[in-house]
Structure 1
Amino acid sequence: MSSLPKILPALTATCALAALTLAGCSDPDGASKSGPSSEGSDTSQSDMSQMGTRDVMPYDMSEIPTVDEIAALVPDAVKERGVLRNGASTDYAPAEYRASDGQTPVGYDVDITMALAKVMGLKEGTTKHAEFPTIIPALGTKFDIGMSSFTITAEREKQTTMISYVEVGSAFAVAKGNPKNFDPTNICGTTIGVQNGTFQQEYVQKISESCVADGNKAIAVMPHDVQTDITTKVIGGQYDATFADSTVIGYTVELAKGQLEQVGDVIESAPQGIALNKDDAQLAQAVQKAMQYLMDEGYLTKLLAPYGAENAALDTAEMNPAV
């Protein structure tokens, strides 16, 4: 972990915290369960049950072809299996979460895995849930790839090969109309909900420490395991705002159906990548070429669009861009 410079209470678009090795996403199943509950919210549980997640009609992948020259790069062991196996922590909508049946993995990372498999000439691309910290150690054995909102960092690239495909920043959301007059450029003394184990939790905590050092009020940083619980508190008036990945905020605002809105600019934008075992150089080349094909042909944008994340698409699938 890199050292952290003094952080001003006013948020800036650049910050050394972006180099932290925390995930862009949380690991709700693996995180501490000590976060606040959603009891006492002014928003009813029945209302929130409609806001948790929604089933999305994904892009029709039937038109995505096998590209023979890319299929030729796929290692024999993967060809024989016919399956590209992805590991993801499926509690982070809209990238990877569970359908309304509570079991089936869905989300744009799930869809992209299937699209990659098609381009690579495989029968299918599958995604199985794994607790976030267990994904990288299982690459090359249990999983071929890890596509689970991994922020690309130099430290992760020491452990894995990473291939960039989207860029995601962080954003704030407040109750509709911003009734608490939350100012995203001066957040000292506010109450902010974050997901456990995220970059955003660490970011806001460090700003809070800077607030106190400068003689201002600390930020009440309120961690939860799932975004729905935070949304309940923001809409109900207990929290001033929530802070999360920009794609998560966009999806949450949509689910809230007019009860939530984004405020301020997207900040701390950073690429996310597919992780592969460092010893799987041949597979990494095939995945990189397949991802670049999806980008060049416009398929990546189409795969992201049903989740409101099309603006996150990158144009170049770089291998280990942080090095």
Structure 2
Amino acid sequence: MARATHLKALALLPAFALAGATMACGAGGNGSGGTTTPPSSSAAAAQQIPTETKDEKLAAMVPTTISADGKIVVGQDQTYPPNEFVDANGKVTGFDVDLGNAVAQKLGLTMEYQNADFSGILAGLAAGKYELAISSFTVNAERTATVDMVSYYKAGTSLGVLKGNPDHLTPNTLCGKNLAVQKGTVQVDDATKRSQDCTAAGKPAINIQQFQAQTDVNLQVQTKRSDAMLADSPVVDYAVKQTDGAVEVVGQPYDTAPYGIALKKGQGSYAQAVQGAIQAIIDDGTYAKIVAKWGLNSAGAITKAELNPAG
């Protein structure tokens, strides 16, 4: 993920529904600023995605230690709408969930999504707690050194502020400001580097406020306890829509990089099976339907799934 104390109630409400009395994880976006309007969670839920047909060749590439029980156990931080979150009915949903389900169908399996703190998912994968992780992980060299990653979308980082941008902030004018980010994300590294640049120039450091859940990050901005937030651009775009413009995006996304499904290394052809499944749903048109359903910028859609691409 360019991006994951959960306030559990937040995760159970519709994504980013923070306005009024109602209150509701890697880099996201593609650098182009967005061409579609993210739907509400209820509107997206009403859109049906075709069921995939099992590919026997790909299914045979999955290790029997994984396929024997008919499911893939997935680590996921479900506080990151529109990519992965729990809707008002308590159902896990989102772009990554629809994509993961389609991949599982191609492999003749089902996905069992287990909620986890974003910062601990890859460690859980390495320890064998999960058999796959799909949680808006940005592909980078640090991650591919320890896990295999199969690309499925391209995204960047966006700066989110209160409507009207009262402090006239940009990513380069955050010195001395309160900046909310999710723990374990590439935005933490980004903010740390920017803060170092501030102090090197004799300016006050950025007060980097790290939270376990992205929903908590969003709340910080809306309640004015943070001046701004950095998050994946699909996430900030979704916040704008779900808060009726109470949050706005500053400028264009930057640092575009692929999202990747993460798998433990050394599992034979498992990673290639997942790569083949993603490519199959790209080729048959299901992938484009999932991207459109969740209002993601179509310019971030990929045409080729790659194993451990350059981040």
TM-score, normalising length from structure 1?
0.76
Aligned to 1:24: 2
Deviation at 1:288, TM superposition (A): 0.8
Does 1 or 2 have the higher relative contact order (CA < 8 Å, sep 6+)? 2
Aligned to 2:61: 73
Instruction: Please give the alpha-carbon distance, in whole angstroms, between the structure 1 residues aligned to 2:290 and 2:170.
Output: 34
CA contact (8 A) 1:212 1:218 kept: yes
Instruction: Please give the alpha-carbon distance, in whole angstroms, between the structure 1 residues aligned to 2:46 and 2:267.
Output: 30
Deviation at 1:59, TM superposition (A): 4.6
Instruction: Please give the alpha-carbon distance, in whole angstroms, between the structure 1 residues aligned to 2:194 and 2:239.
Output: 24
Residue 319 and residue 105 in structure 1: after superposition, are their counterparts in 2 closer, same or farther (change >3 A)? same
CA contact (8 A) 1:173 1:242 kept: yes
Q: Which moved more, 1:140-149 or 1:174-183?
A: 140-149
CA contact (8 A) 2:3 2:137 kept: yes
Instruction: Please give the alpha-carbon distance, in whole angstroms, between the structure 1 residues aligned to 2:129 and 2:226.
Output: 40
CA contact (8 A) 1:147 1:273 kept: yes
Aligned to 2:21: 46
Residue 105 and residue 177 in structure 1: after superposition, are their counterparts in 2 closer, same or farther (change >3 A)? same
1:89 aligns with 2:77: yes
Equivalent residue of 1:167, what SS?
Answer: strand
1:262 aligns with 2:249: yes
Equivalent residue of 2:291, what SS?
Answer: helix
Aligned to 1:12: none
The equivalent position to 2:169 in structure 1, one of 182, 194, 215, is 182
Which ranges of structure 1 fall in alignment gaps of 5 or more residues? 1-22, 30-42
Alpha-carbon RMSD across the aligned residues, in angstroms, is 2.8
Deviation at 1:134, TM superposition (A): 4.3
> Pairwise mapping of residues 97-116 of structure 1 onto structure 2 (< 5 A)?
97-102=85-90, 104-116=91-103
Aligned to 2:48: 60
Post-superposition Cα deviations, 1:74-114, rounded to whole Å, max 9, x if no partner, equal 34444442223322122222222222245x42222222111
Equivalent residue of 2:204, what SS?
Answer: coil
CA contact (8 A) 1:98 1:105 kept: yes
Equivalent residue of 1:216, what SS?
Answer: coil
Query: How many pairs align?
Result: 282
> Pairwise mapping of residues 1-323 of structure 1 onto structure 2 (< 5 A)?
23-26=1-4, 46-49=21-24, 54-55=41-42, 56-57=44-45, 59-102=47-90, 104-122=91-109, 124-132=110-118, 133-138=120-125, 141-311=128-298, 312-322=300-310
Residue 228 and residue 80 in structure 1: after superposition, are their counterparts in 2 closer, same or farther (change >3 A)? closer
Equivalent residue of 1:281, what SS?
Answer: coil
Post-superposition Cα deviations, 1:197-239, rounded to whole Å, max 9, x if no partner, equal 3221232132122112212233232333333444344344443
Equivalent residue of 1:251, what SS?
Answer: helix
Instruction: Please give the alpha-carbon distance, in whole angstroms, between the structure 2 residues aligned to 1:121 and 1:63.
Output: 11
Which ranges of structure 2 fall in alignment gaps of 5 or more residues? 7-17, 25-39
Which amino acid in structure 1 is aligned with residue 2 of structure 2?
Answer: G
Instruction: Indicate the percent of aligned positions where both proteins have the same amino acid.
Output: 33
Residue 99 and residue 187 in structure 1: after superposition, are their counterparts in 2 closer, same or farther (change >3 A)? same
Rg comparison, structure with higher value: 1
Post-superposition Cα deviations, 1:132-180, rounded to whole Å, max 9, x if no partner, equal 3244444584432111222222232232221111122100112222222
Equivalent residue of 1:148, what SS?
Answer: coil
Instruction: Please give the alpha-carbon distance, in whole angstroms, between the structure 1 residues aligned to 2:261 and 2:47.
Output: 20
Deviation at 1:270, TM superposition (A): 1.4
CA contact (8 A) 1:24 1:199 kept: yes
Instruction: Please give the alpha-carbon distance, in whole angstroms, between the structure 1 residues aligned to 2:48 and 2:126.
Output: 28
Deviation at 1:116, TM superposition (A): 0.7
Residue 47 and residue 313 in structure 1: after superposition, are their counterparts in 2 closer, same or farther (change >3 A)? same
Which amino acid in structure 1 is aligned with residue 229 of structure 2?
Answer: T
Equivalent residue of 2:113, what SS?
Answer: strand
CA contact (8 A) 2:150 2:305 kept: yes
Which amino acid in structure 2 is aligned with residue 251 of structure 1?
Answer: Y
TM-score, normalising length from structure 2?
0.79
Instruction: Please give the alpha-carbon distance, in whole angstroms, between the structure 2 residues aligned to 1:45 and 1:192.
Output: 23
Q: Which moved more, 1:198-207 or 1:71-80?
A: 71-80
Equivalent residue of 2:114, what SS?
Answer: strand
